[in-house]
Structure 1
Amino acid sequence: MRQKKQPENQQHTSSFYSMHTQPVTFSNTAPLPPLHLPAESRWRSFGHSCKQFGVALVRKINQMLGLALLVTFLLLGGRFVLTGFHLQRHPSLFVQWMYLCSDPLALPFQNVLPHTRYQGFLIDGSLILAIVVYCILALILRRFLTLLITEPR
């Protein structure tokens, strides 16, 4: 019996299980156009819309908390500077307005820490404590709101 001779350019087609092989078919297919996909049900669409609305609402509340933190920091920081220069009883309208606006924020921390004199300036420790506490509370709330809208991995 005579065996056929294989051409020299033809490769050996068998391989062991641990060897890499060439793919037989290609995995590149065209995506389906959106018109050929099934429509989303009304309940699913409603749920998706409610979720998107809730995410937008939480993000807006998060932005408003950031703005409130900024305003609180500016009011208490301004009061701290005015107190440092001994301008508590100054007749200026700006000083009176600053103390009037920052009184509700500073009231819970009034006289918690003593006033300290340093080279002619007055340092109010309770205002520093108020700024730190308000910053920590706002950052914790903002982080919690961010956790509400993030998807689990």
Structure 2
Amino acid sequence: MTPSFQISNLKPADHPRALDVWEASVRATHDFLDEDTIQSLKPLVQEACLECLPVYCVRDESQAVIGFVGVESPKIEALFIDPAWRGNGIGRQLVSYAVNELGAELVDVNEQNEQALGFYQHLGFEVAHRSDVDGFGKPFPLLHLKLAE
């Protein structure tokens, strides 16, 4: 059985740790991004996600953030899991929370991030359409997913 984790609000004091989780997760899954791009995205993630969105997190025994989801209903804007904790059901639980408690039914994934695409498709999302650039206007195509009816 997959363990269940308590979901709580991300607090401003959690932002540095959440940014570390974001960076570790990106390095593990976004091999199409170079170092300059990762570093240029970091402040955008801090400002556009952590400081502006409702963000919900899961913590380990020491209360350190190990995964988080940012939702601006009806869309999941961010989902990142510490690579050391992947495969423990945290992503599935956070997506379920976003869908069932927050009304999320949309999510974008980088076309090159096949792991994320497969994960969301496994959870019942399907590709609705495609964009040639990401949300920051950079040349990383996005797949726009919608929860299947």
| Larger gyration radius, structure 1 or structure 2 | 1
| Structure with more of its chain in helix, by fraction | 1
Task: Please indicate, yes or no, whether the TM-score normalized by the shorter chain is above 0.5.
Answer: no
Query: Which TM-score applies when normalising by structure 2?
Result: 0.22
Query: Which TM-score applies when normalising by structure 1?
Result: 0.21
| Structure with more of its chain in strand, by fraction | 2
